[in-house]
Chains A and B, each alone.
Chain A
Amino acid sequence: MAWLVKGARLLDPARGIDRTGDLLVDGGKIVRVGGEIRADGEPATIEAKGCVLAPAFVDMHVHLREPGREDAETIESGTRAAAAGGFGAIACMPNTDPPLDSQGAIRFVLERAEEAGPVQVLPIGCITAGRRGERLAEIGDLVRAGAAAISDDGSWVESPLLMRRALEYARMFDIPVVTHAEDKRLSAGGVMHEGEMSLHLGLRGIPAESEVVAIERDVRLAELAEGRLHVAHVSTAEGVAVVRRAKERGLAVTAETAPHYLALTDRCLAGYDTNRKVNPPLRTAADRDALRGAVADGVIDAIATDHAPHPLHEKEVEFDAAPFGVVGLETALAVLLTYLVRAGHLPLPRLVECLTSAPAKILGLDLPGLAEGADASLVLFDPEGSWVVDPSRFESLSRNTPFAGERLFGEIKALFLGPKRIVPRPKSGGGFLFPDEEAR
């Protein structure tokens, strides 16, 4: 099956491509890029004026909940949500039940993902056995089974010695050690950012320092171990400053943040809405602004959703009792376009880079991109298409979004993954997510 995309803005920052033109996909490969293409045969033609055609997005931080919490999300529903959000590859975190700390667990995820559909799933293995922070997991085994990175996400590796060893050991496999930078002894049971808002709301606060001191320590250890450190979900201005200094000193340190930290602040917790309870917590406007700046200037390499599905009944409780986390796959692009690009804080090419080549590089993932002969892995979106977030229409099994009811700009039109084209159901109307064409 062949498709001809006509008149799109072809955008692949990693290859320096940003121009209007056509693109032809045939047999799961990109046949031609750019200019006006007249194809032999009769390819399905997609009029894409005003739309952007870019490499399919890569999300390096997703929670799929399977195994263990299939009521919140499954590998199948999570990959459908990913496709609906324009993602062609996602990395899933190992804090499942049981955790992904064995070859068997990694293989299970890869097999399920294979059955589920065309979205590529890159499992992340544990740093420590059982995520207990006591001894290293069999990292070599995990990598051989297909783990793309290691992380104890949800917990920080408290022992500095163990973290040093993890950074040293992971060097043998050239994978990043992804740190959930939070000293929980300093968070002390907090449920939101510590500051003026927590003071008003009477909720226990998590100081910015619980993140900052953890990043600072991990950077020091990465230097000592000469290892590769990736800092997950940076939420504070000071955290950014630590990462910036590490990069200036030439250390192999990378970082990500999530759309909600770039869009929202702790002020939006005024009504105790548990769908805005995340960890790390939403911070102040100054933190958000620093994160925006750091994404723009590259100190923060990538944007990842930290998609954290929780069933409704677990969020419909008092704020203290609710679990941390928001879903993000299906709103990420629109949130980022609305709050960053349209608001003038970030040029579109840099946003696309944050969602494609930057995370791919950190994960060691070969991103095909807009190159002739490459496997088709492309997303087509209309940056002006607006829609109102209606959680009941999510592909994800969970609905815990902080953006419910908001009008956002940016609509995914299609995803080309190898021989498949996926057309998400329109956000504004009925329909269904379906792979509309199969390979011959």
Chain B
Amino acid sequence: MKLARKDLLGLEGAAREEIELILNTAGAFKEVLQRKIPKVPTLRGKTAVNLFFEASTRTRVSFELAEKRLSADSVSIAKAMSSAEKGETLLDTVRNLQAMKIDFLIVRHSAAGAPHFLASRLEAAVINAGDGAHEHPTQGLLDLFTVRERFGSFEGLRVVIVGDVLHSRVARSNVFGLRTVGARVTLCAPRTFLPKGIEALGVEVETDVDRAIEGADVVMVLRIQKERQDGCFLPTLREYAALFGINRKRADRLKPGCLIMHPGPINRGVEIEPEVADGPRSVILDQVTNGVAVRMAVIYLLSGGEVEHGVVG
């Protein structure tokens, strides 16, 4: 089976079959990563550019490793600022990249829709590595992969996402992905962090974290940006930690087998207590490992790769 799309810009609108294909392929690549030489020659001769307008060591390194493990040539460019203010426009960037005849562009940008802008003007496959408050599809996929790895399927699973949903691209990608594969999703946050009308996405909404996490199979904790503590969204981080932080007391009441996830980087002591982040329920480091396999799968499938009998090229 092949992935019939040029780009991966988001999980909204992605078909269940597409998501399952990516997760299955990622499973095969995870095996590759366990080998003594964790590298395949699949994408030899192909070129990937990682263009990060916004700093993100974790995601960038994850993509770089995925590209190297597939034997692709890759370059990473960090751009300090949003393009328009720095002289070179996104359009100039597109023209330059087009002229360099690259195969993949992995882009992180603070403006929602920036990857769509690039994708519509570039022949290369564009992968959204996070655009503003819109989507972060590979993060959503690696979260899905991690959940499926533990539970085997999504049927009947109840996933709770706690935190700044309004500004979170991770939350959006996860909502779209999880809903598509059949999980139940509850969003839990202060009202100021819940977009109006979010229920229309087919999720449940809860502002009492203790009630929300009761009986949950997965608790995904989102990062709280310190700058939200401006008295407009949150009175203080202290109050947030008290009302919504996943502390040990709350973690102890979770049902057995419940997973705790976090896309990182963690504000220890704000959205999650250190002991919980490092505790037995936490799969935060598995998420990081799985990120490489999932990104390998996405790049491989976008290059036109096929999966046959679970064997990867």
Contacts and interface: CB of A to CB of B under 8 A. Distances in A.
B112 A319 contact: yes
A318 B82 contact: yes
Interface string A187-211: 0000000111011111111000000
A195 B89 CA distance: 29
| Chain B residues touching A, range | 20 to 34
A319 B131 CA distance: 11
Contacts, number: 74
Contacts of A141: none
A194 B110 CA distance: 19
A272 B197 contact: no
A316 B114 CA distance: 11
A318 B12 contact: no
Given A203-B132, A313-B91, A318 B197 contact: no
A320 B134 CA distance: 12
Contacts of B172: 202
B257 to A, nearest CB: 32
| Chain A residues touching B, range | 20 to 34
A317 interface: yes
A195 B196 CA distance: 7
A321 interface: yes
Interface string B172-201: 100000000000000000000001111011
B132 A320 contact: yes
B198 A317 contact: no
A430 interface: no
A198 B135 CA distance: 13
Interface string B205-234: 000000000000000000000000000000
A105 B303 CA distance: 59
Given A202-B133, A202-B169, A319 B198 contact: no
Nearest to B89: A317
A320 B200 contact: no
A320 B89 contact: no
B170 to A, nearest CB: 11
Contacts of A205: 195
A223 to B, nearest CB: 31
Contacts of B89: 313, 316-317
A271 interface: yes
B84 interface: yes
30 contacts: A194-B196, A196-B197, A199-B197, A199-B198, A199-B201, A201-B113, A202-B113, A202-B131, A202-B135, A202-B169, A203-B112, A203-B113, A203-B134, A204-B133, A272-B117, A317-B83, A317-B89, A317-B117, A318-B82, A318-B83, A318-B90, A318-B109, A320-B82, A320-B110, A320-B112, A320-B113, A320-B132, A321-B82, A321-B84, A321-B85
Interface of B: 12, 82-85, 89-91, 109-114, 116-117, 120, 131-135, 169, 172, 195-198, 200-201
